[in-house]
Chain A
Amino acid sequence: MSQYFHSIRIDPEKCNGRMKCMRICPTQAIRVRDGKAVIIEEKCIDCGECITVCPHNAIIPLTDPFGESARFRHTVVLPSPALYAQFGREILPEKILSGMKKLGFDDTYDLAYTCGEVSFAIQEYLREYKGPKPLISNVCPTVVRLIQVKYPALIDQVIPINTPRELAAREIKRNKSKTLGLREEDIGTFYLTPCPVKMISIRQPAEKGKSHIDGAIAISDIYGPLLSAMEDIENRSCQEALKNICILGIGWAMVGGICRTLRLKNSLAVSGLSEILKVFNDMERGRLKNIDFIEAYSCHQGCVGGSLTVENLYMSYNKILKLVETLEFEQIKACPDIREVRKLYKENYFFIEGKLEPRPLKPLDKDLTKAIKKRKEKEDIHESLPKIDCGACGAPTCLAFAEDVVKGEAELTDCIFKLPQKFTELSQELLELLKKSASARAIKFNIKETPDKKD
C-alpha cells in the first residue's frame, strides 16, 4: 500500500504520453515511463494542474460519484461557497440550495455560515497569537501540503483552526443524530467540491486526524442536473433571498475574501502556485515585515478557480465579489454571534484534532556522506546533458533527469542526446573487435600458409 493517498489517478488506457502534465507539474512529480505518465507519490501535492492540461482526460479526479449517498439513512450536502458562483448573477444561493434538495439529498447546509464562524475564530487566534508572523490560512489543502513538503520551517505558522467543512460536518452529525434519533454513522455528509484536493483532506487529513465528511462530489458532476432542477424554482426578491446569507462566509470562495470581510489590513491574499512559491520564499527569508496573515490558494482567484468548477474563473470571482458588495450595501448581517464564537473558541471547539507535521522529501541518501557524493554526481551528470529540457527521457527537466539517474530510477542512455555518444562508443568498440578479429584471421591464415611457403 502506498504511504500517501492522492486525489488523482492516471488512466493508462487513455494516457498517450503527451507530457503536458509532466511539464506543468509545479513539484515535478510526474514522469513518463514507457509512454505513460506516472505520479511520484511523495512529490505530488494534489494541486490538480495536470487534470486541466491533459488533452485525453486521462487524469481522473477521485471524487465520489453523484448518487453514492444511498448507504446512509439521512444525507446532508454541504456545497463549497464556490458553487454559488457557478450560475448567472440572478441565481442566488438560496435557489441553488433548494435545487440541491430536489436532487435527492435530505437536507442542505449553507457552509457560508460556518465559514463566518471560522473567520471570527481566525480573528481571535490572530489577536492572541504571540509567535513569529505572518500566520498562514489552512483553507487550501494543497497549500498545507506544499508547506509540509517544501517549507517545513513554516509549519508552525499555519493556523491550527479546523476548516469550515469539517466543523460543519461534525456539527451536522451531532445535531441530526439527536433530532432524528439516528446513529452518527447513519448520517451521510457530502461536500460539494470545486477541486480534487479536498478529497485527500477527507481521506487523509494533513494533521492525521479523522474527517467527519463521508464523501466529496465534484461541482462539475452535479452542475448539469442542478441546472435543470433549478428551472422551475422561482427567483425571490434579492433582499428576501439574501437575508440569511453570511457575508463573512461568502468571501471564502475567492482569494482575498477572508481578508476583506475581516478587514485585515496587514495581510496578503495570494493565488496560483508560482505566486505562492515567491511569497513563501520571501517569508522564509524574513522579508514579510508587518504582515500578520496570508490567505493562499493554489488555484488562481481562489476556490472559484478550482479544476472541478464549470464557470470561467474570472466570471465566478466577479459573481462572488458582487454578492459580497450587495450584502455590504444592503447591510445584511446574518453572521454568527461573535460572543457565541468566542465562547466556543475558549472551549477549543475550532482547533484541528491532530497536529500538522512536516513531510520533507526523501534526501538523495540517508547517509550524509553518500548524499553529498550523489549530489556531486547529479551535478556532473547535469553538466554533461544538453540542458534544453526536451523531456524525451520522460523527466520534465535535465536536472530532474540527472537526479533520477543518481537515484537509479533512470538510465543515462534514456537521454536521446546520450544515445549517439553511446553508439560512437559501441561502434568504436566494435571497430576494435573487428580489427582484432581481422588480425586474428590473418595469423590463422599465416599459420595455415606457412607449411606451403616452406617449399
Chain B
Amino acid sequence: MSDDNILSQRFEIRGGDFSNAGKASTSIKEILQEIGIDPSIIIRASIASYEAEMNVVMYAQRGSLTLNITPEKLHFKLEDDGPGIENIELAMKEGFSTATDKMREMGFGAGMGLPNIKKNADKFEIFSRPGQGTSLDITFFLNETE
C-alpha cells in the first residue's frame, strides 16, 4: 500500500498532567469526524483512546499515542515508560485497580480502564513487563465485512 493511504499522527502524553489529560483523544475524535468515520465507531474509538490516554497519565512519566488510519482500519499504538503490569490477566478483570486514593478521589481507578478498552475495540493486544513499561495495540475495522 502506498504511504498516501495512511494517516499517522503521534501524540505525546505527560504522566501526572491531569489538566491536559484527554486532549489527545479529543483531537483524535475530531480527525475521525473530519474523514467521515462511522459515528458508532467514533464513539467506541473515543472511549478506548481516552481510557488508554488516562492510563499513561495516571501510571507513567511519559508515553505516546500513535494514531494510524488506513481505509481498512483504525489503529492506536500506546507506549509508556510506566511500572509495567505484573499480572496482565488480573489487570484485565473488571474492578481490579492499583490506583491510589488520590486518583480515586478524582473519579479514576475504578478498575474499568483496560477491560473497557478491550470491550470497545475490535482487536486488543497488551504487552507489559514489570519495569519495562506497557504497550497497547488497539484496532478497529472500518469495513463491516471484517
Q: Using a CB–CB distance below 8 Å, which chain A residues touch chain B?
A: 150, 152-153, 281, 284-287, 289, 358, 360-366, 368-369, 371-376, 379, 403
The reply to whether A371 and B107 form a contact with Cβ atoms under 8 Å apart is no
Give me the 4 closest cross-chain CB pairs, A-B, nearest first.
A363-B36, A153-B43, A371-B35, A285-B50
B103 interfacial contact with A, CB 8 Å? no
- What is the distance, in angstroms, from A147's C-beta to the closest C-beta of chain B? 12
- What is the distance, in angstroms, from B85's C-beta to the closest C-beta of chain A? 22
- What is the distance, in angstroms, from B32's C-beta to the closest C-beta of chain A? 10
Give every chain B residue within 8 A of A371 (Cβ-Cβ).
34-36
B1-48 residues with Cβ-Cβ distance < 8 A to A are 4-7, 9, 22, 25-26, 29, 31, 33-37, 39-40, 42-43, 46-47
Q: How many residues of B contact A (CB 8 A)?
A: 28
The reply to whether A284 and B33 form a contact with Cβ atoms under 8 Å apart is no
The reply to whether A358 and B35 form a contact with Cβ atoms under 8 Å apart is no
Most chain B CB atoms below 10 A, which of A289, A376, A379, A403: A376
7 further A-B contacts with Cβ under 8 Å, apart from A364-B34, A371-B36, A403-B34, are: A153-B42, A281-B26, A287-B107, A363-B34, A364-B35, A372-B5, A372-B69
* 29 A–B contacts, CB within 8 A, in A order: A281-B26, A284-B46, A284-B47, A285-B46, A285-B50, A289-B107, A360-B33, A361-B33, A363-B33, A363-B34, A363-B35, A364-B34, A364-B35, A365-B36, A368-B35, A369-B5, A369-B71, A371-B34, A371-B35, A371-B36, A372-B6, A372-B7, A372-B35, A373-B4, A373-B5, A374-B35, A375-B35, A376-B7, A379-B9
**Which of A284, A364, A372 is within 8 Å of B70, CB to CB?**
A372
Which secondary structure dominates where chain A touches chain B? helix
Which secondary structure dominates where chain B touches chain A? helix
Beyond A375-B7, A376-B7, whether A281 also contacts B36 by CB under 8 A is: no
Most chain A CB atoms below 10 A, which of B29, B37, B40, B70: B29
B92 interfacial contact with A, CB 8 Å? no
State in angstroms the CA–CA spacing of A366 and B34 once bound together: 10
Closest to A290 in B: B107
B61-102 residues with Cβ-Cβ distance < 8 A to A are 69-71
Closest to B40 in A: A153
Beyond A360-B33, A369-B71, whether A153 also contacts B39 by CB under 8 A is: yes
- What is the distance, in angstroms, from B44's C-beta to the closest C-beta of chain A? 9
- What is the distance, in angstroms, from B51's C-beta to the closest C-beta of chain A? 8
Give every chain B residue within 8 A of A403 (Cβ-Cβ).
34
- What is the distance, in angstroms, from A255's C-beta to the closest C-beta of chain B? 23
Give every chain A residue within 8 A of B50 (Cβ-Cβ).
285
**Which of A152, A361, A368, A376 is within 8 Å of B4, CB to CB?**
A376
**Which of B29, B34, B42, B70 is within 8 Å of A375, CB to CB?**
B34
State in angstroms the CA–CA spacing of A366 and B33 once bound together: 12
B142 interfacial contact with A, CB 8 Å? yes
State in angstroms the CA–CA spacing of A286 and B36 once bound together: 22
Give every chain B residue within 8 A of A363 (Cβ-Cβ).
33-36
**Which of B7, B35, B39, B47 is within 8 Å of A285, CB to CB?**
B47
Beyond A285-B50, A373-B4, whether A368 also contacts B142 by CB under 8 A is: yes
State in angstroms the CA–CA spacing of A403 and B35 once bound together: 12
- What is the distance, in angstroms, from A451's C-beta to the closest C-beta of chain B? 59
The reply to whether B107 and A366 form a contact with Cβ atoms under 8 Å apart is no
